[in-house]
Amino acid sequence: MTQLDEEFERATAYALLDDDIDRARLLLGVETASATDEYVRTATPDAIRNFARGLGDDNPLYVDDDYGIGTRWGSQIAPGSMAEIVNAPLLGDPVDPELKKRTRSLFRGIHVFVSGSTWEHYRPIYPGDRLHSFGGQESLEVKESEFAGRSVIRVARRVKFNQRAEVVGVVRTLAIYTERKKARETGKYAHVEPTMYTDEDLARIDEIYASEEPRGAEPRYYEDVEVGEALPPMVKGPLTVTEMIVFHAGGYGFTPYAPTASRLAYKNRRRIPAFYVKNEQGVPDVGQRVHWDPRWAQAIGNPMAYDYGVMRQTWLYHYLSDWVGDDGWVFSRHDEMRKFNYIGDTQFLSGDVVAKRIEDGRCYVDIETRMTNQRGDVTTPGRGTVLLPSRDLGPVLLPDPPAEMQQKAAHFSKRHGELLKERGLR
């Protein structure tokens, strides 16, 4: 038995327990201040630029400090998807001690896949904006999975707001909890082979890259959009480990687990030992290396390393943002991770306008999207709703967040300030 096989047996000793599921249900509807300390707390101009470039987006609205001055925003702004990776710890009232005790160490050692998300964006992220969040679990379902036997599906809601207590956006994330050993035993994806690219294959991809351009300063008016209209193509890939590194360098931290170095890695290993699995050299390393280490990915049941789901979520925003231009607004986006995106895979993005409507003086356009890999598999069906300017009604009116959500943001922001004062930090 190899070192990795031994580590696999150790790492997969954890099972989905009925007790964990019962205890997790206690958290439904409980919303708390997020103490998560992401790599990026404040959206500085450099952080915005690096995040955009980390997902392959060179839109000057995001990467040029001066370009945004001449737009309706009056400044550089961030891609709305950056709300996913910006978070400063929010002080709040503690969770009920008994509830905290009863829900400690849930799903220890269980593998988690992000299977989809739904975002709504309400306000732009400006340079200097510091984002906080609150949220909790909205639902929990137990089901049988073809890939991994019994699984738990949890939907969590997080509300992101800035230092002015303005709701920037809200995300609902669908996560699947599976036993690592079951995923390996099914062998569902064992037949998938790495793709070898010819020069002709790469030329086809490069042709799409050469055609891609953000809409920019030329407005896309609501009146000019037709139902049934196809969006221009976009491509992402072929996916490399380098692209995974660049995405992390752009600010994605995978917090609260997070890749860390040297002494911080030691402290992290002491904090969450189940997350660390020895590699073939006997060195403890993060379980998330399934995203760049093919040997560990194969050990847990996948033929190759694969991307983060959040990468494809940012790509969907990039696709919609390029299309709407400087004067448009990406209001909502929904994605479903139906198949893995392996190292070496290419995602071809396409979309079609399926509906348009005017409500409350706002011009909405609904778009169905899909990401299709080089094998012809639709890996990521999705949809988006954008707001466009109108020749008749004028510029885009930003959507209003639900009153309940805005009131909670104001409450959490106020309580954060009160606790800072109590601790002599303000």
What pLDDT digit, counting tens, does each position of 45-74 carry? 999 999 999 999 999 999 999 999 999 999
| Total number of domains constituting the chain | 1
Query: For the whole model, what pTM was predicted?
Result: 0.92
Kindly indicate the confidence band of residue 269, based on its pLDDT and cuts at 50, 70 and 90.
very high
Spatial contact of 153 and 375, defined as CB atoms under 8 Å apart = no
CATH number reported for the structural domain that contains residue 379 in this entry: 3.10.129.10
Average pLDDT estimate for 345-362: 98
For residue 255, pLDDT beyond 90: no
Q: pLDDT, tens digit, for every residue of 143-165?
A: 886 655 789 999 999 999 999 99
Kindly indicate the confidence band of residue 16, based on its pLDDT and cuts at 50, 70 and 90.
confident
Q: What is the pLDDT of residue 333?
A: 98
% the chain with pLDDT above 90: 83
| Closest of 258, 347, 253, 365 to residue 306, by C-alpha | 347
Q: What is the pLDDT of residue 10?
A: 56
Q: What is the pLDDT of residue 258?
A: 81
For residue 125, pLDDT beyond 90: yes
For residue 226, pLDDT beyond 90: yes
Kindly indicate the confidence band of residue 1, based on its pLDDT and cuts at 50, 70 and 90.
low
Q: SS3 for 133?
A: strand
Q: What is the pLDDT of residue 148?
A: 58
Q: Which of 34-38, 297-301, 354-358 has the lowest mean pLDDT?
A: 297-301
**CA 299 – CA 306 distance, rounded (Å):** 13
Average pLDDT estimate for 128-137: 98
User: What are the distances in angstroms from CA 117 to CA 77, 84, 107, 336, 418?
Assistant: 23, 11, 21, 7, 33
Q: pLDDT, tens digit, for every residue of 74-120?
A: 999 999 999 999 999 999 999 999 999 999 989 987 878 888 999 99
For residue 281, pLDDT beyond 80: yes
User: Which amino acid is located at 369 in the chain?
Assistant: T
Q: What is the pLDDT of residue 11?
A: 55
Average pLDDT estimate for 287-308: 91
Average pLDDT estimate for 13-24: 86
Q: SS3 for 174?
A: strand
CA torsion sign, 250 to 121 to 158 to 288? negative
Q: What is the pLDDT of residue 113?
A: 81
Q: pLDDT, tens digit, for every residue of 168-193?
A: 999 999 999 987 665 555 567 778 99
Q: What is the pLDDT of residue 100?
A: 93
Range of the domain at 95: 3-422
Q: What is the pLDDT of residue 118?
A: 97
Residues 6+ apart with CB under 8 A from 280: 2, 3, 4, 295
SS3 content of the chain, % helix, strand, coil (to 5): 30, 25, 40
For 99, list phi and psi in degrees, rounded to 5.
-65, -40
Spatial contact of 390 and 363, defined as CB atoms under 8 Å apart = yes
End-to-end C-alpha distance for the chain, whole angstroms: 57
Q: pLDDT, tens digit, for every residue of 369-387?
A: 999 999 999 999 999 999 9
Q: Which residue has the higher pLDDT, 8 or 309?
A: 309
